[in-house]
Amino acid sequence: MASNSSDTPRPKLVVFDLDYTLWPFWVDTHVTPPFHKKGGDVFDSFNEKVRAFPEVPDVLQWLHGEGYIIAAASRTGEIRGAKQLVKLFGWEKYFKYAEIYPGCKKKHFSRFRAESGLEYSEMIFFDDEGRNIRDLKEVGVVSVLVPHSGVTRKLVEQGLAQFAKQRRVGVEK
Ligand SMILES: [Mg+2]
Protein backbone atom coordinates (compact mmCIF):
# COMPACT_ATOMS: atom_id res chain seq x y z
CA MET A 1 0.00 0.00 0.00
CA ALA A 2 2.77 2.40 0.88
CA SER A 3 4.01 4.45 -2.01
CA ASN A 4 6.33 7.34 -2.47
CA SER A 5 4.95 10.79 -3.03
CA SER A 6 5.49 10.74 -6.78
CA ASP A 7 2.86 7.99 -6.96
CA THR A 8 0.37 10.01 -4.97
CA PRO A 9 -2.57 10.86 -7.21
CA ARG A 10 -2.94 14.62 -7.41
CA PRO A 11 -5.43 16.78 -9.26
CA LYS A 12 -4.30 18.79 -12.26
CA LEU A 13 -6.91 21.52 -11.85
CA VAL A 14 -7.86 23.15 -8.53
CA VAL A 15 -11.10 25.15 -8.69
CA PHE A 16 -12.23 27.69 -6.12
CA ASP A 17 -15.56 29.39 -5.59
CA LEU A 18 -15.18 33.11 -4.72
CA ASP A 19 -17.86 34.35 -2.24
CA TYR A 20 -17.29 32.91 1.26
CA THR A 21 -14.57 30.65 -0.15
CA LEU A 22 -11.73 33.02 -1.10
CA TRP A 23 -13.26 36.18 0.38
CA PRO A 24 -15.64 36.68 3.34
CA PHE A 25 -18.61 38.38 1.66
CA TRP A 26 -21.03 38.25 -1.24
CA VAL A 27 -19.65 40.55 -3.87
CA ASP A 28 -23.18 41.38 -5.12
CA THR A 29 -24.59 42.57 -1.77
CA HIS A 30 -22.04 43.14 1.02
CA VAL A 31 -19.63 45.40 -0.81
CA THR A 32 -20.19 48.10 -3.41
CA PRO A 33 -18.30 48.14 -6.72
CA PRO A 34 -16.45 49.65 -8.37
CA PHE A 35 -13.36 48.87 -6.32
CA HIS A 36 -10.04 50.65 -6.24
CA LYS A 37 -6.57 50.17 -4.81
CA LYS A 38 -4.84 52.59 -2.48
CA GLY A 39 -1.52 51.98 -0.77
CA GLY A 40 -1.66 48.27 -1.48
CA ASP A 41 -5.15 47.84 -0.02
CA VAL A 42 -8.42 47.40 -1.87
CA PHE A 43 -11.51 49.51 -1.13
CA ASP A 44 -15.05 49.60 -2.41
CA SER A 45 -16.87 52.72 -3.65
CA PHE A 46 -17.73 53.72 -0.04
CA ASN A 47 -14.04 53.44 0.86
CA GLU A 48 -14.70 50.35 2.93
CA LYS A 49 -11.65 48.10 2.98
CA VAL A 50 -12.17 44.82 1.14
CA ARG A 51 -10.13 41.81 2.20
CA ALA A 52 -9.73 38.21 1.17
CA PHE A 53 -9.59 35.44 3.76
CA PRO A 54 -6.13 35.84 5.34
CA GLU A 55 -4.40 32.68 4.08
CA VAL A 56 -5.73 32.85 0.53
CA PRO A 57 -2.87 34.77 -1.16
CA ASP A 58 -0.30 32.32 0.25
CA VAL A 59 -2.42 29.31 -0.67
CA LEU A 60 -2.76 30.47 -4.29
CA GLN A 61 0.95 31.18 -4.55
CA TRP A 62 1.82 27.80 -3.06
CA LEU A 63 -0.49 25.84 -5.38
CA HIS A 64 0.78 27.80 -8.37
CA GLY A 65 4.37 27.06 -7.36
CA GLU A 66 3.53 23.35 -7.02
CA GLY A 67 2.39 23.32 -10.64
CA TYR A 68 -1.34 23.02 -10.15
CA ILE A 69 -3.57 24.77 -12.66
CA ILE A 70 -5.99 27.03 -10.76
CA ALA A 71 -9.45 28.27 -11.73
CA ALA A 72 -12.32 30.29 -10.27
CA ALA A 73 -15.99 29.30 -10.54
CA SER A 74 -18.57 31.74 -9.25
CA ARG A 75 -22.35 32.05 -9.65
CA THR A 76 -22.43 35.73 -8.74
CA GLY A 77 -24.50 38.17 -10.76
CA GLU A 78 -21.92 40.88 -10.00
CA ILE A 79 -19.62 39.68 -12.75
CA ARG A 80 -17.72 42.90 -13.30
CA GLY A 81 -17.15 43.49 -9.59
CA ALA A 82 -15.90 39.94 -9.04
CA LYS A 83 -13.49 40.16 -11.97
CA GLN A 84 -12.28 43.53 -10.79
CA LEU A 85 -11.57 42.17 -7.30
CA VAL A 86 -9.65 39.22 -8.71
CA LYS A 87 -7.53 41.69 -10.65
CA LEU A 88 -6.99 44.14 -7.75
CA PHE A 89 -6.07 41.30 -5.37
CA GLY A 90 -3.39 40.32 -7.91
CA TRP A 91 -4.84 36.88 -8.59
CA GLU A 92 -5.14 37.06 -12.37
CA LYS A 93 -1.69 35.49 -12.61
CA TYR A 94 -2.95 32.44 -10.71
CA PHE A 95 -6.31 31.79 -12.40
CA LYS A 96 -5.78 30.22 -15.77
CA TYR A 97 -9.55 29.89 -16.12
CA ALA A 98 -12.40 31.88 -14.61
CA GLU A 99 -16.09 31.17 -15.17
CA ILE A 100 -18.12 33.87 -13.42
CA TYR A 101 -21.90 34.07 -14.04
CA PRO A 102 -25.12 32.80 -12.43
CA GLY A 103 -26.36 29.26 -12.95
CA CYS A 104 -25.63 25.66 -12.01
CA LYS A 105 -21.90 25.11 -11.55
CA LYS A 106 -21.98 22.01 -13.71
CA LYS A 107 -22.04 24.50 -16.56
CA HIS A 108 -18.93 26.28 -15.26
CA PHE A 109 -17.14 22.94 -15.02
CA SER A 110 -18.19 21.80 -18.48
CA ARG A 111 -16.42 24.94 -19.71
CA PHE A 112 -13.29 24.07 -17.70
CA ARG A 113 -13.32 20.60 -19.23
CA ALA A 114 -13.70 21.98 -22.75
CA GLU A 115 -11.04 24.66 -22.30
CA SER A 116 -8.45 22.55 -20.49
CA GLY A 117 -9.00 19.14 -22.06
CA LEU A 118 -8.95 17.70 -18.53
CA GLU A 119 -11.46 15.22 -17.15
CA TYR A 120 -13.58 15.77 -14.05
CA SER A 121 -11.56 13.01 -12.37
CA GLU A 122 -8.49 15.28 -12.60
CA MET A 123 -10.17 18.22 -10.85
CA ILE A 124 -10.75 19.22 -7.22
CA PHE A 125 -13.30 21.81 -6.15
CA PHE A 126 -13.63 24.00 -3.05
CA ASP A 127 -16.96 25.75 -2.32
CA ASP A 128 -18.93 26.86 0.75
CA GLU A 129 -22.37 25.83 -0.58
CA GLY A 130 -23.72 22.31 -0.22
CA ARG A 131 -25.76 22.51 -3.44
CA ASN A 132 -22.63 23.18 -5.51
CA ILE A 133 -20.71 20.40 -3.76
CA ARG A 134 -23.57 17.97 -4.49
CA ASP A 135 -23.79 19.00 -8.14
CA LEU A 136 -20.10 18.49 -8.83
CA LYS A 137 -19.80 15.28 -6.83
CA GLU A 138 -22.54 13.95 -9.07
CA VAL A 139 -20.33 14.30 -12.14
CA GLY A 140 -17.25 12.89 -10.40
CA VAL A 141 -15.32 15.95 -9.20
CA VAL A 142 -13.74 15.53 -5.75
CA SER A 143 -15.50 18.38 -3.94
CA VAL A 144 -14.67 19.89 -0.57
CA LEU A 145 -17.12 21.93 1.53
CA VAL A 146 -15.45 25.11 2.80
CA PRO A 147 -16.32 26.14 6.40
CA HIS A 148 -17.07 29.71 7.52
CA SER A 149 -13.38 30.37 8.11
CA GLY A 150 -12.80 30.17 4.35
CA VAL A 151 -9.95 28.55 2.45
CA THR A 152 -6.82 27.81 4.50
CA ARG A 153 -3.64 25.93 3.74
CA LYS A 154 -4.78 23.17 6.07
CA LEU A 155 -8.13 22.79 4.31
CA VAL A 156 -6.46 22.56 0.90
CA GLU A 157 -3.96 19.99 2.17
CA GLN A 158 -6.83 17.95 3.58
CA GLY A 159 -8.61 18.23 0.24
CA LEU A 160 -5.55 17.04 -1.67
CA ALA A 161 -5.22 14.10 0.73
CA GLN A 162 -8.89 13.27 0.18
CA PHE A 163 -8.33 13.43 -3.59
CA ALA A 164 -5.35 11.05 -3.34
CA LYS A 165 -7.34 8.61 -1.23
CA GLN A 166 -10.38 8.60 -3.52
CA ARG A 167 -8.34 8.29 -6.71
CA ARG A 168 -6.16 5.53 -5.29
CA VAL A 169 -9.25 3.57 -4.31
CA GLY A 170 -10.44 4.14 -7.86
CA VAL A 171 -7.22 2.71 -9.30
CA GLU A 172 -7.21 -0.35 -7.04
CA LYS A 173 -10.78 -1.37 -7.88
MG1 LIG B 1 -19.68 30.80 -2.16
**If you average pLDDT over residues 68-96, what whole number do you get?**
98
pLDDT digits (tens, 9 = 90+) for 88-132: 999 999 999 999 999 999 999 999 999 999 999 999 999 999 999
What pLDDT score was predicted for residue 1?
Answer: 47
Write down the architecture of domain 10-172 according to CATH: 3-Layer(aba) Sandwich (3.40)
Instruction: Give catalytic residue positions.
Output: 17, 19
What pLDDT score was predicted for residue 172?
Answer: 52
7 CA distance to ligand 1 middle (Å): 32
129 CA distance to ligand 1 middle (Å): 6
The pair phi, psi for residue 99, each rounded to 5°, is -115, 110
pLDDT digits (tens, 9 = 90+) for 21-57: 999 999 999 999 999 999 999 999 999 999 999 999 9
Checking if the pLDDT of 75 tops 90, the result is yes
What pLDDT score was predicted for residue 7?
Answer: 81
21 CA distance to ligand 1 middle (Å): 5
Domain ranges across the chain: 10-172
Name the H helices within 49-138: 56-65, 79-88, 105-116, 130-138
